[in-house]
Chains A and B, each alone.
Chain A
Amino acid sequence: MSQALRSAKERALQIVEQASKIRIQDARDNLGARTSGRQVRKANNQMGHTQGALERAAKPPLGWIWGDFFRPWQRMFPGEKHFNADINVRREYIPLSLIELTRLIDLGWIDPSKPIDISTLCRTQKFQINPNIRQYGFDLTEEGADSFPYAIDIEVQYATQSAIAAVEKAGGRIRTSYYDVNALEAAIDPKKWFEKGNVVPQRKAPPKTLIGYYMDAKNRGYLADESDIENNRINLANIRGYKLPDHEMVTEPLKTVDQVFHGIPAGSVISLADKKLYSPTNEIHREYYSKQVADKQYS
């Protein structure tokens, strides 16, 4: 390799190779690695501003949230009854764009030949989901839908029509499914859940407001009929004008409506040390976990 093509690392190592033996006293900091405090100019010096000065300063008018002082919140949204009324109710979904997903697969963090769900996505450690602050999973957004190359089998909690179309155009399968707080906590960190000795929970049915979303085949909801979903898949391809591949990507059979992990039925206890799955032996427990309708409300 010519001199010009060498990387900085190789050039540095060449110097090391020609140098005498590097000893303890030769290791030192880079030039300028440690600096003392910077002297600020008189004009920029902010010292002397106290808490009291801030307290006595002029405040923005009541209701101001952003921008113009004469457009407070109550004038921007005159129909709203309360400010942030649903803050303790509304659900948050972590946006996951198709381009991010492509990059995760490119870099080897996700294996496209296996089913992708919350556990797979959280295992990459690139996302944090905290069910305690009402984060309910992933929202698959359409950024990067133009050139999504992988046929994947993915399960998210919310997906736009463009994202669904992009996944299906590439030959993938997509389902949206609801995880309640308990199931989500298990799915986010299965190792922690299993080590605690907790029982693999049943996935509860979605709340009233979300039932419609997850029963709609248009959204590829997990409560919708598979035949409906197939029709909608063809329909969406016709509307958007792309040709569906012959085979849909199927890595594993779909989870049942109350299942959290692929291959692990609800009600079992996992021992990571023994690599064993313990099913419930008690008849009452077995019946409870095999019902597949978890909520009394919707049974």
Chain B
Amino acid sequence: MFLSQLMRQSGASASAARNLWRKSENPFISTPQAWLTDLEQVEEKKRGIIDLHPDVFRVAPRLDILHRNLTWQKVYRNVQMTKMLTKAEMPGGGRKPWPQKKTGRAHVGSIRQPEFIHGGFANGVRGPRTWFYMLPDAIRLQGLCVALTLKHAQDDLHIVENMQDLQNGDPKFWQDLCESRNWGYSVLMIDDSDVISGGLAEAQEQLAWLNCMPVYGLNCYSIIKYDTVVLSKNALEKIEQRLLQHLHRAKPLNLKYRYQDYKEKILNESRAEENPNMPPIV
């Protein structure tokens, strides 16, 4: 391959061979590859080439599936809390303001009727209203694969050896690093552990455009939102394993996502976060 020739020229050491689970035997499906680098110094040093699974990193770029995922992520969290009061819910207005007939005025029963100034609303917004829905599992799964494929196809996906316990936490260093490697305006680092320590943790606290995320937080919106996505080697393993496990599942999950099933979990979620000075979060 072209990449392996390059690797020989640059003197990279590690080999591309990875055990790709259930990789297709089809000779027309080529295995995507990526450079393996590290975050120790500003310049990009190529440590080797790593094989990526074609079922995850080389799928058809279905922008419509991606669109469904992005819209879903934007919409499902929306809650409209506005509640416009009706005639009955407004204070007062119980008395008939003037007699029904022989005054020459309109026949009204209450000063809170909708046609009055400061009256109630007849067809107002009646919150709370939610736009919550659940996208099918298969669409979410395919969406993740499409997003990762797009990032890889556009050279915006990078694999690094390690993200934990890096030496340098200077924001200037990280800015230079990302600039010299042409990583664009924003960078998302994904590691398999949900706690990050060392230089990266210090730097990402001060740099708004640099963010870290555990593997379980991986989502289409973030992958597309950030200019560059950087995966650690462990994260790559875990992402592939999880996605392939679901791609080769025998049965659809068919989860119902009913409120009654999750009610107890949701209500107990904030138990540890309760503050005596604040109203309870439900």
Chain A residues in the interface with B (C-beta under 8 A):
1, 5, 7-9, 12-13, 16-17, 19, 21-24, 26-30, 33, 109, 123-126
How many Å lie between the Cα of A7 and that of B29 in the bound state?
9
Q: Which of B217-267 contact A (CB under 8 A)?
A: 221, 224-225, 227, 250-251
Contact of A17 among B67, B153, B184, B251 (CB under 8 A): B153
* Cβ-defined partner of A123 (8 Å) among B66, B184, B221, B250: B250
Do B153 and A27 touch across chains, with their CB atoms under 8 A apart?
no
A9 surroundings in chain B (CB, below 8 A): 58-61
User: Are A125 and B64 neighbours in the complex by a CB distance under 8 Å?
Assistant: no
Q: Once the chains bind, are B227 and A21 in contact (CB under 8 Å)?
A: yes
Q: For the complex, is B70 an interface residue (Cβ under 8 Å from A)? A: yes
> How far apart sit A149 and B59, CA to CA, in the bound complex (Å)?
34
Is A26 a contact partner of B251 (Cβ separation < 8 A)? no
What residues on B are CB-neighbors of A109 within 8 Å? Answer: 250
Instruction: Select A24's contact among B61, B68, B221, beta carbons within 8 Å.
Output: B221
Q: Which residues of B contact A (CB under 8 A)?
A: 28, 58-61, 63-64, 66-68, 70, 149-150, 153-154, 156, 184, 221, 224-225, 227, 250-251
Beyond A5-B28, A22-B224, 16 additional pairs, beta carbon < 8 A: A9-B59, A9-B60, A9-B61, A13-B58, A16-B150, A16-B153, A16-B154, A17-B154, A21-B154, A22-B150, A22-B154, A24-B224, A27-B70, A28-B63, A33-B64, A126-B250
A7 and B28 contact, Cβ closer than 8 Å, known pairs A26-B63, A30-B64, A33-B64: yes
In the assembled complex, 7 residue pairs joining A and B whose CB atoms fall closer than 8 Å, in A order, are A12-B60, A13-B61, A21-B184, A22-B150, A27-B70, A28-B64, A125-B250
**Which residue from chain A places its CB closest to the CB of B151 in the assembled complex?**
A22
Q: What is the CA–CA distance of A8 and B61 in the complex, to the nearest angstrom?
A: 10
The CA of A124 and the CA of B249, in the complex, are separated in Å by: 10
* Cβ–Cβ contact B67 & A29, under 8 A: yes
- CB-nearest residue of chain B to A21: B154
> Of A22, A26, A109, which is in contact with the most chain B CB atoms at under 10 Å from its CB?
A22
Q: A7-B28, A17-B154 are in contact. Are A24 and B70 (CB under 8 A)?
A: yes
The answer to whether B67 and A27 touch across the interface, beta carbons within 8 angstroms, is yes
- In the complex, what residues of B have CB within 8 A of residue A7's CB? 28
Contact among A12, A21, A28, A33 with B61 in the assembled complex (CB-CB below 8 Å): A12
Min CB distance A108 to B, Å, is 8
Which residue of chain A has its CB nearest to the CB of B146? A27
Q: Is A8 within 8 A of B224, CB to CB?
A: no
Collect the chain B residues with CB atoms within 8 Å of residue A12's CB.
60-61
Output the nearest chain B residue to A30 by Cβ-Cβ distance: B64
The list of the 8 closest CB pairs from A to B, nearest first, reads A125-B250, A27-B67, A125-B251, A9-B60, A27-B66, A30-B64, A16-B153, A16-B61
Cα A22 to Cα B58 in complex, Å, equals 16
- Chain B residues with CB below 8 A from A126, complex form: 250
